[in-house]
Amino acid sequence: MPTPSEGRESGELAALLEVCDRLGRARVLVVGDAMLDRFVRGSVKRVSPEAPIPILSIEGELSMPGGAGNVVRNLAALGVGTAFAGAVGDDPAGEQLAALLAQKAVLGTGLAVEPGRRTPVKTRYVAGGQQLLRTDFETVAPLAKATEDALAAAVGQWLKAVDVVLVSDYAKGAVTPALLAALMAAARAAGRPVVVDPKGADFARYAGAAVITPNRGELSAAAGRALATEDDYEEAARVLMAAHGFGAVCLTRSEEGVSLYGAGSDPVHVRAGAREVFDVSGAGDTVAAVLAAGLAVGATLPLCAELANTAAGIVVGKVGTAVVHPDELRRAVLRLGGEDATRKILPRERLLETVALWRGRGLRVGFTNGCFDLLHPGHAAMLAGARQECDRLVVGLNTDASVRRLKGPSRPIQDQASRAHMLASLGCVDAVVLFDEDTPLELIRAVAPDMLAKGGDYTLDTVVGADLVMAAGGRVVLVPLEQGRSTTDIIRRIRKEDGASPEQPSGRGDSVSDGL
C-alpha cells in the first residue's frame, strides 16, 4: 500500500475537525439485516469431566443490536439522527431487538415482522477476553413478498427525513433484489445518495450506489479473481464502477487502512494508525457509518474516508462490537496532527467501556475517590500507594456541587475541571471520573472494582462501598497517610497569613486525608 505523508496539513486537520463537529447534524436511514448480538461472559477454572471442553461459569450476559443494528449503534453514538428499516421474526428475540433499536434509532424504525421467521441471534461465550464459542440461530432466506413490500413502504416514508441512505447487507435475506431496486429508484428520485456495505459476489444488485465499502475478500469475489497488487485492487474497483455506475469504491483493508477509488480521480490511500488491536468485530460497520454520516453533512469523500478510517482504528482497540464516541473521534483526529490528545478524564459511560477493556486483558482495576481540593503531596502519596495494589487505578472525583454540599459554600477552592486535570497529570492515575452524588456508592457499583482504596485514617466500616466490593470477592486497602498534610490545614495557614478568619472545617474535611 503506498505510504501517504506522515503528518497532516493544518488545513486538512481543521477540515476533519469541522466534520467531526458537524456529524450530530447528519440524518441517515439504515436499511439491512439486523440481528441480536449476545455476549455471555464468565470465567473458566476447570475442564468438564464429561468431555475435553472448558466449563464456563457464567457471570453476566449482555445483548445489543448487531449486523445492521450495529451500524445504527455507531451512528447513534456519534449523535447522528438515525432511522432504521429492516425485518424481524415474530419471536422473543425479535421483540427484544425491536426495543433495543428503538432506543438507538431516534428518528424511528420501520420494522416488518415476518411470521415464522427466526430473528438472527449470535451468541458469543467469552472468558478472559477470549471467545470460547459462537452459536448462530437464524433464518437465512429472502423475505416473503408481503414483508418485502412493507419494508419498501417504510423506506419510502423515511427517505424524506434523511440526507443519506446506508444499506448494510449481511446476506440474511432482508436486502432482496426487489427491495434494492425500489430503494435505489426512490433514493435517486429524492436526490439521496446511497452508501452500501455489500455482501456476496453479485454487486450488480447495488447498481447506482454513490459509494460501496467492500473489504478485500468481497472485492475479490465481485471481481471473480484473486487480487494481490495495488494495480489489481484499483483495476477491480474501476471495472465495478464502470459496470454498475458506482460513484466510488472505499476498500477496507484491515490493518492497512482504506483505499478510496473515485471516478476521474487518483486513488486515496489512508493508512491505519499504529495501535494495539483487540477485536476487529464491527470495524466495517464503523467505516460505513462514519462515511455515510460525513456525506450527510456535505464532507468530501476523501475527508469521509480519512475520518472513517480513524474511527475504525478506535473500535479495534476495544473488545466486542464497539462504537466510537464524538470526543474519542475528535481526540484521534488531533493525534493525526501530532498533538497528544490523550485524556484520562472520562464520562461515566466511557469509563465503563475502558474498565471492560482492561478486564478483558486480565488487568485488576482499583478505585478510590475524593474531593482532591488543592492537590498536595499527601494526596499523591496515597494515590501512588493505591496504584501499587492494582493494575489500573480509577479516581472518582466529587463535582463542585457535591463538594459544596459536603464542605460548605466556600469550597472547593479549585473547580472540578482544574481538580480533574491535576489528578489526570499523575502517572499513578489511569482514569478520572466525576460524580455528583454525596457518596460514590453508585459509581463503585457500576465500576465493580477489584480493589477499593482509602486513606489509613478510615476503618473498614466507614469506607463507602466496602461491603459491596468484598461481597463480590474484591479487597479494601487502607493506605498509610503522611501525617500533617491536609487541604484544610493548607487553607487555614493561607487564611492566617492573610489575616482572615480560619475556615471552620466540617466532617472529615479536617482529617489528614482531606478529600480522600
CATH superfamily of 348-510: HUPs (3.40.50.620)
Respond yes or no: is residue 400 known to be catalytic: no
- pLDDT score recorded for residue 13: 78
Residue 44 one-letter amino acid: V
What pLDDT, on the 0 to 100 scale, is given for residue 392? Answer: 92
Helices within 160-267 (DSSP H only) = 177-190, 216-223, 230-244
Question: What are the Cα distances from residue 266, in Å, to 71, 248, 263?
Answer: 29, 11, 8
Would you say 441 and 369 are in contact if contact means Cβ atoms under 8 Å apart? Answer: no
Q: Same fold for the domain at 12-336 and the one at 348-510?
A: no
Residue indicated by cell numbers 439491512: 32
Angstrom distance (rounded) from CA 376 to CA 176: 65
What is the tens place of the pLDDT at every residue in 401-414? 999 998 888 888 88
Tens-digit pLDDT string for the chain (516 aa): 654 434 455 567 778 988 998 999 999 999 999 999 999 999 999 999 999 999 999 999 999 999 999 999 999 999 999 999 999 999 999 999 999 999 999 899 999 999 999 999 999 999 987 889 999 999 999 999 999 999 999 999 999 899 999 999 999 999 999 999 999 999 999 999 999 999 999 999 999 999 999 999 999 999 999 999 999 999 999 999 999 999 999 999 987 889 999 988 899 998 876 454 444 567 889 999 999 999 999 999 999 999 999 999 888 777 666 788 888 898 888 777 654 434 688 899 889 988 987 887 788 999 999 999 888 888 888 999 999 999 999 999 999 999 999 888 888 888 898 889 889 888 789 899 999 999 999 999 999 999 999 988 888 889 999 999 999 999 999 998 765 555 556 556 565 655 555 444 444 443 434 455
How many helices and strands in the chain, by DSSP H and E?
17, 18
CB 342, CB 331: distance < 8 Å: yes
Q: Are the CB atoms for 291 and 250 separated by under 8 Å?
A: yes
Bridge partners, 35 (sequence order): 66
CB atoms within 10 A of CB 186: 17
**Which contiguous run of DSSP H or E holds residue 469?**
helix 466-471
Check: pTM over 0.85? Answer yes or no.
no
pLDDT for position 323: 86
Report yes or no: 140 and 174 within 8 Å, Cβ to Cβ.
Answer: no
Predicted local distance difference test score (pLDDT) of residue 313: 86
> What are the domain boundaries of the chain?
12-336, 348-510
And the C-alpha cell for 252?
A: 477496507
Q: Which of 169, 251, 165, 175 is nearest to 208 (CA)?
A: 165
Query: Any idea which fold 12-336 has?
Result: UDP-N-acetylmuramoyl-L-alanine:D-glutamate ligase (3.40.1190)
pLDDT at residue number 8: 54
| Residue of 114, 160, 122 lying closest to 138 (CA atoms) | 122
pLDDT value, residue 358: 84
CA distance 33 to 420: 43
**Of 279, 285, 373, 489, which one is the catalytic site residue?**
285
User: How far apart are the C-alpha atoms of 423 and 427, rounded to whole Å?
Assistant: 9
DSSP E strands, 90-198: 108-114, 121-127, 130-137, 164-168, 194-197
Among 42, 47, 12, 5, CA closest to 360:
42
Rama region for 471: left / alpha / beta (φ>0; ψ in -120 to 50; rest): alpha
For residue 298, which of 200, 119, 163, 140 has the smallest C-alpha distance? Answer: 163
Q: What pLDDT is recorded for position 6?
A: 42
Ramachandran bin of 515, using left for φ above 0, alpha for ψ from -120 to 50, beta for the remaining angles = left
Round to whole Å and give the CA distance between 339 and 498.
41
